[in-house]
A and B are shown apart, each in its own frame.
Chain A
């Protein structure tokens, strides 16, 4: 049994928390763009955070669910349907075998994660099931999913799906119909910004002093537009051109998730999940780790402002975000045990 892909959507790929320990060989951790949403989607179906989910981008896939399956679609607001009826979002849903699940389009936010009980069962490559598109490995044959694909699931999907659904608390509040059954409670969204813009906190990058004061002011003052040629590797930002007072050559050096580098054309690029591990462009800023999942929910055309923060602020924000996530995961845990 498997999940059959009827329509692929815009960019649908299998993702997990990513592969660590290989950056010295040029292999980036990668993984889910919004790792928080990925983890919560998994928790909603009783999976550990390491299980592979389907990352849906702006326009999601249409799937034929060939076996009874406990699934959860969490993250951006997609107008998903199961068997033609609205699919309750951000909560566990038991889908009946033979049902068509169309994830639809995102009305706000950019990415939602479809988790399935037991996780998608593609082989691990270099310690992860995440798809690394630039080099074509991991996930399903190293590529985005396409129509006709069979997404492998656990052999006893129907059994574990039914067992987990039975264990859900307050099942008497059950909603839904023939094709899909769900519960009244749902997990609140932690990462999706309310509008098409957001402010992220950012530290001064280690080359910020090379930029002239007008450029620094513009960077931390302007609302930047996310360019259409943004992708999982990086968000290109449209706005004023940033210039350096000293155009010194920089030796290529390690980058990280959230590094904002400025190539010679003066247009900054925020490095996202599939970024290059090293780069020779000046780093004007480093985005606080806590704000990366939210940024990953902005689509091209969205706008982002950078609020200057210290590394201590960023560390505190990260700790607070982890605490919020821990509390939500505990609440889900409580909900799923009788």
Chain B
């Protein structure tokens, strides 16, 4: 499938934003991830950040690195177009595959029963569908290491909760609409919590600090409460309340 040519607009005076589509399209997002990797591989000294998002990509640059009279914006737009022109067909070669252990036990999944009821499924069927479908990180944002993961089984599509929780436990796995998120910290959240991973989702002392990066393929693997506790002890991650 040919990649749509992006509309490239300024984002402030030190970045450009390339918009590929106004709606979320998993194939377009996969191309955006590929473009982000290609941009990074160029190792251009004036690039400060390459941020692939759901249907857009931001290229942040350091204007001080340009000689007067040259346009950083034009250079950034040209670089994006050039990378797109030579972007090879989609390939899985450079994609990371991450298996994320998730405990779906009631103690760690306060919204699982409600999600199951809304979807007219049993909790076991919800777990089976969540672990069966292939997922992919579409974007990391909001807070450090917070992934937005696409590929949710359409049978599990539920809206966000009407009242967000003031605090969601770190490691919580939550779904809404067509996506899954993993909370790296205890923060407020309005998504439906269906499980928790014992792994540390974000650790600034680790390389890379985020467990999941944009473009990663993700498989959720169901574990028992006993396994969760064992993992958590080993990983120094979240504890069972």
Contact = CB atoms under 8 A, between A and B. Distances in A.
Nearest to B58: A254
A277 B147 CA distance: 12
Contacts of A319: 63, 68
Interface in B50-86: 50-58, 60, 63-64, 68, 71-73
B76 to A, nearest CB: 12
Contacts of A20: 48-49, 60
A40 B48 CA distance: 22
Given A21-B48, A288-B13, A125 B58 contact: no
A63 B23 CA distance: 54
Contacts of A259: 11-12
B202 interface: yes
B24 A277 contact: no
A318 B14 CA distance: 10
A97 interface: no
A254 B11 contact: yes
A185 interface: no
B139 A278 contact: yes
Interface in A106-127: 125-126
A318 B63 contact: yes
Nearest to B68: A319
A277 B204 contact: no
B210 interface: yes
A201 to B, nearest CB: 10
A252 interface: yes
Contacts of B73: 311, 315
B210 A203 contact: no
A93 B68 CA distance: 36
B169 interface: no
A292 to B, nearest CB: 9
Given A24-B49, A277-B141, A252 B13 contact: no
Contacts of A254: 11, 15, 17, 51, 53, 56-58, 141
A278 B12 CA distance: 14
Interface string A123-149: 001100000101101100000000000
A130 B120 CA distance: 49
B145 A252 contact: no
A26 B146 contact: yes
Given A26-B143, A206-B17, A287 B36 contact: no
Contact of B213 (A24, A251, A257): A24
A205 to B, nearest CB: 9
B214 interface: yes
Contacts of B64: 322
Nearest to A276: B142
B148 A258 contact: no
A252 B12 contact: no
Interface string B200-236: 0010110011100110000000000000000000000
B144 interface: yes
A256 interface: yes
Given A25-B208, A26-B142, A256 B14 contact: yes
B191 interface: no
Contacts of A24: 36, 49-52, 140, 213-214
Interface of B: 9-15, 17, 19, 22-24, 36, 48-58, 60, 63-64, 68, 71-73, 139-146, 148, 184-185, 202, 204-205, 208-210, 213-214
6 contacts: A24-B50, A27-B210, A276-B143, A278-B142, A289-B63, A311-B13
Interface of A: 20-27, 29, 125-126, 132, 134-135, 137-138, 203, 206, 251-259, 276-279, 286-289, 311, 314-315, 318-319, 322
